[in-house]
Structure 1
């Protein structure tokens, strides 16, 4: 059924009382982590799926071409961008695993076969590419990746464990990572675990090692709890409460000095902000916005182009256009976009026009901006609807407002963080629509139930558009 949402009178719901957004998690996991990787391929209805981890989303032009070639020769000719800045190849043949691995090895995309699934590292995509002062999160990402691959202990991490390296603008710090490195105005870095607003201050040179030690400490507590937890938020309460203290003790044993920070709110200034006194510790952290589509002036005088993929999916031809336009490594973002660096200012407008003509999102006014979807039918056996087709049919009814994400089932694979319009299939042509909240609140509204038929497609589109402009309630 379609729960059509009126644009007024939203009803706040306590998150603790609200129905779960996915299947109820068991307190103890009874199976191992089956998260796909570059070597462990997932059998989907449209062929095998490979998920390639890209620490900080970085891809050299040679590596980008290697992925395009693999998608074209071994897969379905497309590349999917994930909510962690990684890339997926779909439609792979039953016996192509060895050839794919060889191609990735040759391109330098498989530095460790035993650790390839745990290299989940997101970083502020525009760090060093815009006019904001920023920490060198790309350096942190390279160092952390090397430390992870060298740690036998880290190989036990789940393929879902996430590191976020925030240059101080507060963008990737909001992504619900398990370990977050957050740059501060005073040049230090705060290490956070899970949803903690508090953290431990360390020096920048110690930040990557501190992140690794925090992850290894989580593993120790997860094993002690017997819960089989894959993420920090899955730790039993008594173990979760002790994680920060255990991390601090582990850092001290490793010779890394720390200072407890009650709430790490002293981030680098955001766009348009003026220098001023340090904020009070009780003030909330600023939450930076994802990079908007369009040109970004870089400190070296070149232009970086922020481009998004429609529903997170790129054809090989579109991918190659991005790679050939870049003068430096591409940066895949956790918001299913790509940053193309080093474009000459005189050529930036023409390049954006070519990318827009090719079907990419190059401006925030595009009706496709902020619209996402999982694979849905026919690619996923668990999906209840062809959500991509339904999302495409509804996208022309408006733009702007909250992000909207279409899910083929209640698992909501790949949904965004923060607040978003949640469109979940409950059957072929039937959807529930709600506004999902952040960690502190959840807002839902419902209206008259309608079954989606061809003559009611506009009502579906209007319901989604109305939900995107639903006022925030607490």
Structure 2
């Protein structure tokens, strides 16, 4: 696909000028955050925006109706967002797009993908060239339960068991089967390779030459539905967030640790589960 401009995915330093004011997006790799952190972000929304936090299909967070000075959010609003702790890597804020099975390591699944998610995020943010990836570039990690196996992606993996994964290269191509502990390094290398050849492409699927492909491993899981709303298991609840819009009233009913899901909902986790 021929592109004549860069992508315009919003971030704190690249807001989108929506009809109601500036829209900014905060990436939450893996979706995990404390309720106190979300409360602090609601403080920002109530002070500068529409008073709510908006969930996205990539398990990220958005603020709307922020003020705009020329093409930027005012410095005091940026500083308020920074104090929430949700902007740890400003240079890479647009590219920390890691969508991960929300219940991984908490309940079900074949592997705990939380460590590989953390390592992958750290590797991406430690690689200066990857700060220039498109803001739409997406990595999708399915822990073997099948909840994200059919998601479109640029790169990703699917767990085959507790120690082995198969890489994804684009939405329809499979990469090699590798040990889980190698996955973050392999995916970072593939992201660097894409950055070197992408020209104006935003996605791996848009490359003129399809990536080398492997057969899907026979242990690949079938696609599965999201968990039903309500208690998943003792101490873990899947909470519906109507229209993906979170306000102070909704927040007060949640546990101390949360996971933002790609279904515009939240997993609420009781303290004893986190411990």
The answer for the alignment partner of 1:326 in structure 2 is 255
Question: Superposed, which structure 2 residues align to 1:369-380 within 5 Å?
Answer: none
Is 1:160 the counterpart of 2:136? The answer is yes
Structure 1: gaps of 5 or more residues: 1-26, 246-260, 268-284, 346-474
Residue-by-residue CA offset, 1:356-390 (whole Å, 9 max, x unaligned): xxxxxxxxxxxxxxxxxxxxxxxxxxxxxxxxxxx
Partner residue of 1:208 out of 179, 184, 193 = 184
2-structure distance, mates of 1:133, 1:94: 43
The answer for the alignment partner of 1:336 in structure 2 is 264
Is 1:101 the counterpart of 2:78? The answer is yes
Question: What's the secondary structure of 2:194's corresponding residue?
Answer: helix
Report the CA distance shift for 1:78/1:109 in structure 2 as closer, same or farther (over 3 A).
Answer: same
The answer for the alignment partner of 1:292 in structure 2 is 228
1-structure distance, mates of 2:258, 2:157: 22
Question: What's the secondary structure of 1:177's corresponding residue?
Answer: coil
Report the CA distance shift for 1:186/1:126 in structure 2 as closer, same or farther (over 3 A).
Answer: closer
Measured after TM superposition, the shift of residue 107 of structure 1 is 2.5
Question: Superposed, which structure 2 residues align to 1:258-407 within 5 Å?
Answer: 261-267=214-220, 285-297=221-233, 302-318=234-250, 320-322=251-253, 325-327=254-256, 329-342=257-270
Report the CA distance shift for 1:133/1:36 in structure 2 as closer, same or farther (over 3 A).
Answer: closer
TM-score by length of 1: 0.54
8 Å Cα contact 1:173/1:180 also seen in 2? no
Is 1:172 the counterpart of 2:148? The answer is yes
Measured after TM superposition, the shift of residue 186 of structure 1 is 6.5
8 Å Cα contact 2:22/2:64 also seen in 1? yes
Report the CA distance shift for 1:312/1:219 in structure 2 as closer, same or farther (over 3 A).
Answer: same
Residue-by-residue CA offset, 1:213-257 (whole Å, 9 max, x unaligned): 11111122213xxxx110112222xx2x2x237xxxxxxxxxxxx
Measured after TM superposition, the shift of residue 140 of structure 1 is 1.4
Q: Matched residue pairs, number?
A: 270
Report the CA distance shift for 1:342/1:265 in structure 2 as closer, same or farther (over 3 A).
Answer: farther
Is 1:128 the counterpart of 2:128? The answer is no
8 Å Cα contact 2:110/2:161 also seen in 1? no
2-structure distance, mates of 1:105, 1:63: 11
8 Å Cα contact 1:140/1:165 also seen in 2? no
Measured after TM superposition, the shift of residue 343 of structure 1 is 6.6
Measured after TM superposition, the shift of residue 195 of structure 1 is 2.1
The answer for the alignment partner of 1:66 in structure 2 is 40
8 Å Cα contact 2:156/2:168 also seen in 1? yes
The answer for the alignment partner of 1:142 in structure 2 is 118
Question: What's the secondary structure of 1:71's corresponding residue?
Answer: helix
8 Å Cα contact 1:49/1:91 also seen in 2? yes
8 Å Cα contact 1:111/1:149 also seen in 2? no
2-structure distance, mates of 1:147, 1:62: 27
8 Å Cα contact 2:144/2:158 also seen in 1? yes
Cα root mean square deviation, aligned? 1.9
Residue-by-residue CA offset, 1:21-57 (whole Å, 9 max, x unaligned): xxxxxx3111122111122111111111111111011
Residue-by-residue CA offset, 1:294-353 (whole Å, 9 max, x unaligned): 1011xxxx42110122222222332x224xx313x31000110100012789xxxxxxxx
The answer for the alignment partner of 1:399 in structure 2 is none
8 Å Cα contact 1:293/1:307 also seen in 2? yes
Report the CA distance shift for 1:294/1:343 in structure 2 as closer, same or farther (over 3 A).
Answer: farther
Measured after TM superposition, the shift of residue 93 of structure 1 is 1.3
2-structure distance, mates of 1:198, 1:157: 21
The answer for the alignment partner of 1:230 in structure 2 is 202
The answer for the alignment partner of 1:45 in structure 2 is 19
The answer for the alignment partner of 1:113 in structure 2 is 90
Question: What's the secondary structure of 1:181's corresponding residue?
Answer: strand
The answer for the alignment partner of 1:468 in structure 2 is none
